[in-house]
Amino acid sequence: MMRYLFPLVIFAGLTTLFIFGLQNDPRYVPSPLINKAAPEFTLPTLHKPDQNISINELKGKISLINVWASWCAACRIEHPLLNNYTKKYQLNLYGLNYKDKRSHALQWLENLGNPYIESAYDEIGTVGIDYGVYGVPETFILDKKGIIRYKHIGPIDDEQFSRIIMPLITKLKQDQYP
Amino acid sequence: MIAELGNISLSAALAMAIIQSVFPILGAAKGNQTWMSLARPTARLQFLFVLIAFMILIYSFLVNDFSIAYVANNSNTLLPWFYRFSAVWGAHEGSLLLWVLILNIWTIAVTFFSRHLPDHFLSRVIGVMGIVSIGFLLFMLFTSNPFERLFPIPTNGADLNPLLQDIGLIIHPPILYMGYVGFSVAFSFAIAALLAGNLDITWARWSRPWTLLAWIFLTLGIALGSWWAYYELGWGGWWFWDPVENASFMPWLIGTALIHSLAATDKRGIFKNWTILLAICAFALSLLGTFLVRSGVLTSVHAFATDPTRGIFILALLAVFIGGSLILYAIRAPSTKSAGSFELLSRETFLLFNSILLLVAMLTVLLGTIYPLIIEALNLGKLSVGAPYFNAVFIPVMTPLVIFLGFGVLTKWKQNNFVTFLRKIRTLLISSLLIGICIGAVFFSDNQLKSIAGIVAALWISFTSLYSLFVKIKDKKDKIIAFKIIPYSFYGMLIAHIGFAVSIIGITITSQHSIDIHQRMKVNDKIEFADYKFHLMDLKTLSGPNYQATEAVVDVIKNGQLITTLRSQKRIYTVRNISMTEAGIDAGFTRDIYISLGEPLNDGAWSIRLYHKPFVRWIWLGAILIAIGGLLAIIDRRYRLDGLLKKTSSNNNEAISTIK
Amino acid sequence: MKIAPKILLIVYFLLSNFVYANDEPVVFQNRDLEERYYLLIEEVRCLVCQNQSLADSNAPLAQDLRNEIFKMIQINKSNTEIMEFLVKRYGDFVLYRPPLKKNTWLLWFGPFLFLIVAFFVTVLIIKKQSGETQVNK
């Protein structure tokens, strides 16, 4: 009898696997940069082309890097939320303006408001590659030592912000690491 | 209004499907003739209702009824009428309706062409097909209704995905689905036999033509898909080991094992349980394919827009149909006894190896396809399994299959003399090797070893097949009569195996010896490539019904003579703002020349890719031969349906007596 | 609601096809470098695409990464170094040929394991039934 049940057992195993599989998002790629030092960069700022901004400026405080571009449709949806969050909470939010035209990007901030302390201008996207950016917008959370603790891919929404991002920032402020 | 009619029609079809499955199956169990007699009329009515629903959807597309969400999402007033027609199955909901329609086509075909089968058996077959239909109709009505209304009604539709605006999409899905869904017939025959508790060989004989036909459609469907990807995706690839391709390839591998195993069960009364299991497995893989494509568990180039609830529903269907069948199998199978016996060196042995190796090939493809899922479910990270993996493991797995194929056609049923067998294979093996090496050495200067391996494999298959024909006629006095009395199914086998060899040659040479070049070109530029001179004559702007295009006109010249003028377009479909490449192809028996227009560069130049693909046509030519071989096996007098009519009357009595 | 961001991502991926399409052919000093380049871009997955290699994709990120690989080949980086560069940033997910590691043992050896098991099972079945024949005789 056992050997006739064998196909059923295999089938049950596969079905269980698929039930697990349905809960995962195949597009989501976890970043290997989590819990590693944020890659170094020195880039001109968006507003002042002759001034540079480097990763060192972000160290010593919990900071967020939001990768955005004026051509990115999803960023337009995320943007008002970012404005809202920076008003409500003490967030050190930096922008990484990714493969954009400077004039377009400046116009966008003018029209929609500027939630960023400063935006770095990554014209050709090399810093984006170093950060493993693939689906703009993306948001990185860095701890005080400049270590990446979390990466969010795609636009943040309120639910994710209050469930994942805010608690993490609170924890990091108390020097607790996940 | 018309959409509501479609809904009513689908609901009526569901009602019919329920009657079609409940009463005939119970009737068969109780011996109630009246209940059994409901099978055929309800199946035909169900077909009618599904057909009406399908026609309504076609009509809605043709008149641009954007109050229906599915039409609004997949059509546009600018879309030419024939694409509006094929857009019916261009996305999830409509293609599901096509799936159900094709299931119904198979069912009524069974009601018409299997009248000679005993009532209780036919009732069960039709009943099981009814159950499958219930599942898919419920799936459609609850999660994927193609007639769902949209409000407010948009003034125009979102257009059909440009990738699908092609002749390939008009024919590829229906043919492929005929294959996929056709395995439901073999499945239903197997379940009917299990329900009856009678795994006599008769069920195998009855299901052979149906299984073969489904397998032929699947073969052609896969080949069409490959050909379509080749010319439509614009980079000259013909097989990507994408999950969706694998989803169609796995049932094909098991279907191939099934038709061979059915032959052994039918002729020799052996492998009965194994054949039943393969029939269940082939249909399970068809359903699995549906799940993989529509649930969103895997990313794929051709996946439908997905939604997890759909995934759960299909998974539930899979669990009910296949889980139920496998439980039934575990109950019934232990009491089955094989009738025939055979020695180690016999055709039976090699047929068994054949189906087990095909199973291994299928498991290999399955492993690679779902491995990322396994790893993610176990929380071990995230990885990709792509073409380099499949190419590396699939060929070693297929090699013993090719060798045993040759052994199989050279051996007789039951037992063989070892010495004569050895003598036969020695000559054939040496000649395949020698000729293969010579061809490889003469024609190819690079990748010689792989090319030779492929050619030797193809020669081995062809030589052994032809030799088996030679054996059949060598001692006959009148050769013409000898040729005539050989059954069609033998010729079918011969042609299908040679088709396989032809495909191997195509695959080997194309993979090893294709060359391409990526070039910046301006009008009047000329370049030399692969013994040809390519002259960019013109770059013009065109506008189609729903796109803007740039067309490159390239003259291909060899030895100062114009061979052909190729045109490749870069189109931008205005509604969705998606760009597509239309390749320019000069197809030939021994090579394709393929050009594809890239992107505009500065100062008026464009990037152009040129490809030289030797023997690429042989891949699909082989598939066509395989299909022809299958057809010849179907029309064999011994399995032909009217032939069965006479023959089975005696079998029926046998079958009935064994039940009692 | 949950699927909304996914749809937006898809919208982004599609729209992004039109930003900075740069398909300038690459020119190498010799045939070997060129062949290496084409082999590499065949084996690296384009992250923003559905399921395509860098070679098959026109997405801007694919072009950037092709360009990055081109530059690394120019400065004589080995294939291993190039792959390490990519894995460091995007993880094993970018490799279409999964590296042989603990978590891919089953993947790489599985098919051969199947083959061996299948062979033994088949021989066992044949032996068993031909044994039965002899008893019957």
Quick one: pLDDT band at residue B104, thresholds 50, 70, 90? very high
Eight-state DSSP code of residue B118: -
Work out the mean pLDDT of chain A and round it to a whole number.
90
Kindly state whether residues B594 and B455 are assigned to the same domain.
no
Q: Does B322 touch chain A (CB under 8 A)?
A: yes
Distance from CA of C94 to the nearest CA of B (A): 7
The mean pLDDT of B508-531, rounded to a whole number, is 92
Which residues on C lie below 8 Å from B299 (Cβ)? 50-51
Band (pLDDT 50/70/90 cuts) for residue B659 is very low
Q: What is the pLDDT of residue B445?
A: 85
- pLDDT at residue C13 is higher than 50: no
Positive or negative, the CA dihedral B376, C17, C42, A38 is negative
Number of domains in chain B: 3
C117 shares a domain with C63: no
How does residue B637 score in pLDDT terms, banded at 50, 70 and 90? Answer: low
> What is the distance in angstroms between the Cα of B614 and the nearest Cα belonging to chain A?
36
**Answer CATH for A33-173 from 3.40.30.10, 3.40.50.300, 3.30.465.10, 3.90.79.10:** 3.40.30.10
Does residue B54 fall inside a structural domain? yes
Any idea which residue has 């195998």 for tokens?
B204
Question: What b/e string do you get for C13-36 counting C-beta neighbours within 10 Å, with b at 16 or more?
Answer: beebbeeebebeebeeeeeeebeb
- Domain residue spans of chain A: 33-173
**In this predicted structure, which of B541-545, C6-10, C118-122 has the lowest mean pLDDT?**
C6-10
Which tokens belong to B65? 């009824």
B226: pLDDT strictly greater than 50: yes
Q: Are residues C85 and C117 in the same domain?
A: no
B241 within 8 A of B387, measured Cβ to Cβ: yes
CA B258, B262, B268, B271 dihedral sign is positive
Q: Are residues B4 and B148 in the same domain?
A: yes
Give the pLDDT band of residue B642 (cuts 50, 70, 90): very low
pLDDT digits (tens, 9 = 90+) for B327-364: 999 998 888 877 677 877 888 889 999 999 999 999 99
A·C CB contacts under 8 A: 67
Q: Which of B491, B514, B537 is the last residue of a domain?
A: B514
Residue B444 has pLDDT above 50, yes or no: yes
> Does B645 score more than 50 pLDDT?
no
Report residue C36's pLDDT band, with 50, 70 and 90 as the boundaries.
Answer: very high
Question: In chain C, positions 64-123, which contact chain B (CB-CB < 8 Å)?
Answer: 91-98, 103-104, 106-108, 110-112, 114-115, 118, 121-122
- Chain B positions in Cβ-Cβ contact with residue C94 (cut-off 8 Å): 384
Q: Is B4 on the interface with A (CB under 8 A)?
A: no
Decide if pLDDT at B269 tops 50.
Answer: yes
User: Do C95 and C105 belong to one domain?
Assistant: no
Whether A146 contacts chain C with CB within 8 A = no
> Residues of B numbered 46-75 whose beta carbons fall under 8 angstroms of chain A's beta carbons: which are they?
none
Q: Which chains touch C (3 or more CB pairs under 8 A)?
A: A, B
From B219, B267, B181, B355, select the one nearest B631 (Cα to Cα). B219
User: B219, B302 in Cβ contact below 8 A?
Assistant: no
Residue B500 shares a structural domain with residue B568: no
C11-17 average pLDDT score: 39
pLDDT at residue B303 greater than cutoff 80: no
Of A27, A32, A128, the CB nearest to C9: A27
From A83-92, B53-62, B451-460, the region with the lowest mean pLDDT? A83-92
- Same domain for B14 and B161, yes or no, is yes
By the CB < 8 Å criterion, does A103 face chain B?
Answer: no
Averaged pLDDT score across all residues of chain B: 90
My answer on whether C88 and C124 are in the same domain is no
Least-confidence region, from B220-229, B420-429, B627-636, C123-132: C123-132
Same domain for C23 and C39, yes or no, is yes
Nearest to C8 among A32, A77, A130 (CB): A77
The residue segments making up the domain with residue B458 are 391-514
Selecting from C104, C110, C130 the residue whose C-beta is nearest the C-beta of B342 gives C130
Residue C37 belongs to what domain range? 4-99
Q: What is the mean pLDDT of residues A155-173?
A: 91
Residue B86 falls inside a structural domain: yes
Residue B255 in this model has a pLDDT that exceeds 60: yes
Angstrom distance (rounded) from CA B458 to CA C104: 33
Neighbours of chain A (3+ CB pairs under 8 A): B, C
Q: How would you write B58-87 as a 3-class SS string?
A: HHHHHCCCCCEHHHHHHCCCCCCHHHHHHH
- Regarding whether B476 and B608 lie in a shared domain, the answer is no
Note the pLDDT of residue B304.
65
Q: Contact B363/B249 with Cβ under 8 angstroms?
A: no
Residue B225 resides in a domain = no
A4 → closest Cβ in B299, B333, B382:
B333
CA distances from B414 to B511, C82, C96 (A): 40, 58, 46
Whether residues B487 and B521 fall in one domain: no
Q: What is the mean pLDDT of residues B403-426?
A: 86
pLDDT grade for A40, boundaries at 50, 70 and 90? very high
Hey, are the CB atoms on A129 and C93 less than 8 Å from each other? no
Closest to B114 measured CA to CA, from B202, B206, B192: B206
Q: Does A18 touch chain B (CB under 8 A)?
A: yes
pLDDT in the model for residue A69: 94
The whole-number pLDDT of residue C104 equals 94
Check residue C102 and report its DSSP letter. G
Nearest by CB to residue B386, choosing from C26, C96, C132, is: C96
Q: How far apart are CA B233 and CA A16, in angstroms?
A: 35
Burial class (CB in 10 A: 0-12, 13-18, 19+), A162: exposed
CB B243 within 8 A of CB C64: no
> Which of A151, A100, A41 lies closest to C90 in space, CA to CA?
A151
Residue-level pLDDT at B189:
95
Pairwise CB contact (< 8 Å): A73 & C15: yes
Clarify whether residues C93 and C34 are in a common domain: yes
From the centroid of its chain, how far is CA C42? 8
Q: What value, to the nearest 5°, has the Cα angle with vertex B594 and ends B588 and B595?
A: 150
CA distance B374 to B380: 9
Give CA–CA dist B397/B19, Å, rounded: 46
Cα(C61)–Cα(C48) distance, integer angstroms: 7
Domain containing residue C34: CATH number? 1.10.8.640
Across the interface, do A21 and B377 touch by the CB < 8 Å criterion? yes
pTM (2 d.p.) = 0.91
Whether pLDDT at B323 is above 50:
yes
Q: Is the pLDDT of residue B388 over 60?
A: yes
Judge if C26 and C82 occupy the same domain.
yes
B454 with B576, same domain: the answer is no
CA distances from B496 to A7, B51, B501, B507, B610 (A): 30, 34, 9, 16, 33
Model pLDDT, residue B506: 97
Q: State whether B5 and B132 are in the same domain.
A: yes
Residues of B in contact with C51 (CB under 8 A): 240, 242-243, 299-301, 386
User: What's the CA gap between C26 and C23, in Å, rounded?
Assistant: 9
Q: How many CA atoms lie within 13 A of B405 on its CB side?
A: 27
Q: Mind giving me the DSSP string for B627-653?
A: HHHHHHHHT-TTT-HHHHHHHHHHHHH
Report the residue of chain C nearest A78, measured CA to CA.
Answer: C5
Q: How far apart are CA B450 and CA B507, in angstroms?
A: 11
Which residue among B298, B308, B334 sits closest to A4, beta carbon to beta carbon? B334
Structural contact between residues B388 and C94, judged by C-beta atoms closer than 8 angstroms: no
Tell me whether residue B93 is in a domain: yes
Report residue C136's pLDDT band, with 50, 70 and 90 as the boundaries.
Answer: very low
Amino acid at B389: Y
Of residues B504, B466, B500, B472, the one with CA closest to residue B485? B472
**Residues of C in Cβ contact (< 8 Å) with B397:** 111, 114-115
Specify whether C61 is located in the same domain as C126: no
Summarize the confidence of residues A131-157 as an average pLDDT: 91
Same domain, C87 and C106: no
CB-based contact B354:B408 (threshold 8 Å): yes
For residues B128 and B8, is the Cβ–Cβ distance under 8 A?
no
Into how many domains does chain C fold?
2
Assess whether pLDDT exceeds 70 at residue B40: yes
**B285-312: average pLDDT:** 79
Between chain B and chain C, the number of residue pairs with CB atoms below 8 A apart is: 141
Please check whether residue B327 lies inside any domain of the structure: no
Average pLDDT, rounded, for chain C: 80
The answer on C56 and C32 residing in a single domain is yes
Residues C25 and C8 in one domain: yes
Q: Has residue B210 been placed in a domain? A: no
> Do B509 and B525 fall into the same domain?
no
CA distance B218 to A85: 55
Query: In terms of domains, do C78 and C12 share one?
Result: yes
Determine contact, residues B607/B635, Cβ cutoff 8 Å.
no
